[in-house]
Structure 1
């Protein structure tokens, strides 16, 4: 329709949908091309190859599938259409790219299941409400689209096992002999393994991948599979999945340096077997993107019936299934806190001063710390630390072995020797990491904050002027703040303040002598390469310090021979746990004074104000589970009777503490039981005891 000049502004509204959606601002190719060039302000354009193999062996670009191909193309261009005024905004462009990725994920999920949905014969018009709901349930099953959409772990496992079968066994044997490191499996790899291949087969799988040139050098794994190349082989039935790299499974990586271990033992599980699901906002985004299939009705092209789309739009799966963090036995944590405090009191000042002397010497001579000989390090750290065992800079840094020798020692060496040297206090840097791990553990238990709130603490401003409050950024407080996090303050125990001030003083000295340009994060550690600097704290550095602490003090092993390596999400509940145990009438040695200075009512009020409900419920459940496990049922008779009815036993020693904790927590969540402190005053002052009350219902009455 030709409009007069004064009505030209109406032209965009008169274009038919079929013509309008043949273009998009990100599409650089002709709509009918079999391979699209696309760009969302990329440095170079990317390709979208529509020549996908369907379940019957045919290709999507064949003439008989033109309607299905056009449906996919129009779906992609239409659901990413954004008004020009919004598109001019950078946020709008990011939103468009996000919608594009989500639509590609949905197309890939349909293509992967093309046989199930009979796409070859029925197209998108054959999708029922049940199919759409199934798609949404699949997407919501995990927060990671590599698993929900692409089933990456299972398909990678099947591919690897099939590759071994297709590879000549003699060639595999040759690789295993020529590269003995290819058979080394570390504790960290065992901890992180979800691939599910028998460990006896892992060396053969690695060799088969190596023979196909699938490995490349990457930090931090050394030789790791190129998942981009693997995806091209595995996901030939997808549009976008074949051109995207996938997460690396650490169990498939290997390193020519056999000293890649980080922990002495495998980690005891920190979470129950339940899987986390997609968060609600992400699910809503995918659901609205799927609903955009209805735009095909405008063109018109086959599309799911409107009734099916509306029913799917109303579907809400369970998005709240979270695995529970396993609680470390309380006696282990209490002992660890005592060890941490004693280590600080005995060695904290000396360790930080020794490091400052090393840094000053390096600044005077304008050399790297790794240039110092073992003898020079022993002299610089002082007699007290030298007698404690310090005889080198770092167990993980290549340094000269002695003043006379020009050779360099091997990194770390054998695993058993490394951890023996760690506990002999041989390395100064390791001793600093252990000490910082002590501080992290103490603050983590006493403050009950999230890990990110702690490892992001700044040495420059983490304490207020009175040095009685810890200042941090709340990890979940960005709402209405444009992504910025609220700064909050919480009271901190004097012993923890003393620890924090020790680290702050160390950094101020390092800044004054020019070793660092500015103050770093509070838990920054010396750079293990021996470079003159501090490595900023991060989740990796934070956890490594805790691991170092656990191996140094040899925290106990569980029945499976796995060590309890502390994590902050486990420690958060122990402030409340500490409160409950201080209410008992058993002696707690060093720990009893921590909460004995205040009215327990006031302390408990602070706990309930500053601790998440789920964390507090977990602490209550764990405390009562341990009491029942030890036979202390006096304050929990009704609860014990209920558990007896449910599980057919009154001998709680027969039930694993973790299982008992889960059962009690379920009762708390379901509203059957409440567990609270009961306060009273006697001749010794304010006291309390923890009791469990059965909440009467029609069923229990």
Structure 2
């Protein structure tokens, strides 16, 4: 390398910080443009339109507001860089930069939404006071919904809808309701869960008014739903972010036919019930972003007074702990594990081969899957599947279907799941198989959900086929924030499942059915289109839910089904270690965990399982032992919990409540749960030890 090249970084350090920000890497347009095009790893570029109106009626882009506009632009540009312009830091991973950008956007929008309070058009950022900043932080912490903490969406949407219904002529309201009578049908159960301040008698008029003014999307089969993005555009003409609120306002949805469904039963609550206030992590990030408005002063741009910013640097408000994923009984997960593994060995190859046969037939006959009759389908697929009950391409496939009726695409819920478990739909069986593989790989590898959905088909296994290779979520290294890539040993069962999915796509590529390989868990389209749907959180969870309904995952005491999630499987991965190595169920399964040295395996688990999941696994194991052995196991811990939380009997309390108590004390350091390894004449053994810290120690 030449001396000039070797020292080129010095020129970079000497560059004016403002100049750097004007050329931030994700900005696709000129810094001075009134509408920015930005792409921070997005599939399609997004726009930031600075032409918003302030409280005095002027546009932010008018010359009188040039200093304010410049401040907002530099602030947003700096969000993915560093607030200290003299320092050099490794750029964060793309998802982290996306989050930093979003938080900065929300800070700006919080100021714009309340421009009439801060009088931005008159005073700019210099008019922001200490009380303003504290009030911003207080309102941000009141709820974990940014739609409400930043945009007050619930209140503003309620008022907007009521005013729209009031201002829409009565004859128009009546005409819409006459044409769509189901608008008047209001579910009391949905109303009880709604945050919006609508009275039950007001809802039909509100729906009719919104429908008339074009705020709905949908159809007769799937129902009509209020578009929050359209509402946001109407309610917030002066914000940069237009993606506000949830996808649907459920109390405003109406269904000419049966309401759409994705699961057979109501789900057991996945997360623990905690106050709705924001978590301390999210609050800290938002406060840091708000405080970083002070960096504008170093760029020679007007900013809030330093005294006001200093007042919030360490400003604390009431927050809540991170939501904890609720425990799933050990036996529930073991039951599903057994069923998914059996499904793989009994039917996996037959199902994959049958789809390959259908694909080959379509390529040779130059027809699409949707053009095949159900009779043709059952003559092409493996006869074993026909014997199992397969009668049609899919339960919601496009072939042999009539549209335009009031019947939802899936039909009656009971009938759909009866046909699902009777194996009538071939494509659903394929999705169930992929969901089974997702479940087993997710449990064996204990990785985050995003890491699993993004696994590529090729390259996820090393050359020896003994290691799973993945990009680690929430990590980065290098100047451009590339995700850290790691490898973890994978069991022979998981390896075989992955090889089956690889063989499946290789064949489809060979015959020209697909043009490129997808992700490992890409799934054939359930409607029968000639494609593989990319692996996403939606398709990944849909496959799992179909599998849980197909195998009839157990329910709790009130009839809610366990639709297990990856965070819960990460806990189970560690929980499995305790059950295997403490002498409990040692012969239940024989994976690589059961054949290795216990101390080495424990070290491995502490490396791959996050602290929250590990703490949860320890707590759940101890709790299950206490409940199983009644007063014999961990009596001292039971007494401690009863005294600390003033409950009469741990064994009579709610399981999740006691689990929360134990984890709280572990987080505080008052309880320690660790395995203790020792050797006897039979080799290495292990016991789980609970240490209770006494007061004053």
Shared fold, TM over 0.5: yes
Report if the CA contact (8 A) 2:48-2:241 is conserved. no
**Matching residue of 1:675:** 673
Report if the CA contact (8 A) 1:629-1:657 is conserved. no
Match runs of 1:120-519 below 5 Å = 128-139=129-140, 145-160=146-161, 175-176=176-177, 178-180=179-181, 182=183, 205-216=206-217, 223-227=224-228, 229-231=230-232, 233-235=234-236, 239-240=238-239, 246-251=245-250, 252-253=252-253, 258=258, 260-274=260-274, 275-276=278-279, 278=282, 280-281=284-285, 283-289=287-293, 292=296, 306-315=306-315, 321-400=321-400, 411-519=409-517
SS in 1 for 2:690: strand
Report if the CA contact (8 A) 1:294-1:306 is conserved. no
**2: distance between equivalents of 1:244 and 1:386?**
47
**Matching residue of 1:616:** 614
Report if the CA contact (8 A) 1:186-1:261 is conserved. no
Report if the CA contact (8 A) 1:221-1:253 is conserved. no
**1: distance between equivalents of 2:553 and 2:288?**
44
Question: Once the 2 structures are TM-superposed, how far is the Cα of residue 201 of structure 1 from its aligned partner?
Answer: 7.2
**How many residue pairs end up in the alignment?**
638
Report if the CA contact (8 A) 2:626-2:632 is conserved. no
Report if the CA contact (8 A) 2:49-2:240 is conserved. no
TM-score (norm 2): 0.79
**2: distance between equivalents of 1:162 and 1:582?**
63
Runs (5+) with no aligned partner, structure 1: 1-12, 14-23, 29-36, 53-58
Question: Once the 2 structures are TM-superposed, how far is the Cα of residue 594 of structure 1 from its aligned partner?
Answer: 6.1
**Matching residue of 1:55:** none
Question: Once the 2 structures are TM-superposed, how far is the Cα of residue 423 of structure 1 from its aligned partner?
Answer: 0.5
**Matching residue of 2:9:** none
Question: Once the 2 structures are TM-superposed, how far is the Cα of residue 329 of structure 1 from its aligned partner?
Answer: 2.1
- Selected match of 1:50 from 53, 59, 67: 53
SS in 2 for 1:687: strand
Report if the CA contact (8 A) 2:217-2:227 is conserved. yes
Question: Once the 2 structures are TM-superposed, how far is the Cα of residue 111 of structure 1 from its aligned partner?
Answer: 2.9
**1: distance between equivalents of 2:131 and 2:75?**
30
Question: Once the 2 structures are TM-superposed, how far is the Cα of residue 343 of structure 1 from its aligned partner?
Answer: 1.0
Question: Once the 2 structures are TM-superposed, how far is the Cα of residue 666 of structure 1 from its aligned partner?
Answer: 0.4
Question: Once the 2 structures are TM-superposed, how far is the Cα of residue 332 of structure 1 from its aligned partner?
Answer: 0.9
**2: distance between equivalents of 1:45 and 1:651?**
57
**1: distance between equivalents of 2:583 and 2:186?**
47
Question: Once the 2 structures are TM-superposed, how far is the Cα of residue 175 of structure 1 from its aligned partner?
Answer: 3.9
Question: Once the 2 structures are TM-superposed, how far is the Cα of residue 616 of structure 1 from its aligned partner?
Answer: 0.5
**Matching residue of 2:21:** none
**2: distance between equivalents of 1:234 and 1:40?**
23
**Matching residue of 2:12:** none
Question: Once the 2 structures are TM-superposed, how far is the Cα of residue 38 of structure 1 from its aligned partner?
Answer: 5.2
SS in 2 for 1:603: helix
CA RMSD, 1 decimal: 4.5
TM-score (norm 1): 0.78
- Distance change >3 Å, CA 158–CA 330, structure 1 → 2: farther
1:567 paired with 2:565, answer yes
**Matching residue of 1:542:** 540
Report if the CA contact (8 A) 2:76-2:104 is conserved. no
**2: distance between equivalents of 1:135 and 1:336?**
47
Report if the CA contact (8 A) 1:195-1:249 is conserved. no
- Distance change >3 Å, CA 680–CA 567, structure 1 → 2: same
Question: Once the 2 structures are TM-superposed, how far is the Cα of residue 495 of structure 1 from its aligned partner?
Answer: 1.4
**Matching residue of 1:691:** 689
SS in 1 for 2:282: coil
- Distance change >3 Å, CA 317–CA 545, structure 1 → 2: same
- Distance change >3 Å, CA 386–CA 97, structure 1 → 2: closer
**Matching residue of 1:16:** none
**2: distance between equivalents of 1:180 and 1:198?**
19
**2: distance between equivalents of 1:366 and 1:210?**
43
Q: Greater CA radius of gyration, 1 or 2?
A: 1
**2: distance between equivalents of 1:282 and 1:182?**
40
SS in 1 for 2:545: helix
Report if the CA contact (8 A) 1:608-1:616 is conserved. yes
- Distance change >3 Å, CA 346–CA 201, structure 1 → 2: farther
Runs (5+) with no aligned partner, structure 2: 1-15, 17-28, 39-44, 82-90, 92-96
**Matching residue of 1:76:** 69
Report if the CA contact (8 A) 2:291-2:309 is conserved. no
**1: distance between equivalents of 2:326 and 2:47?**
46
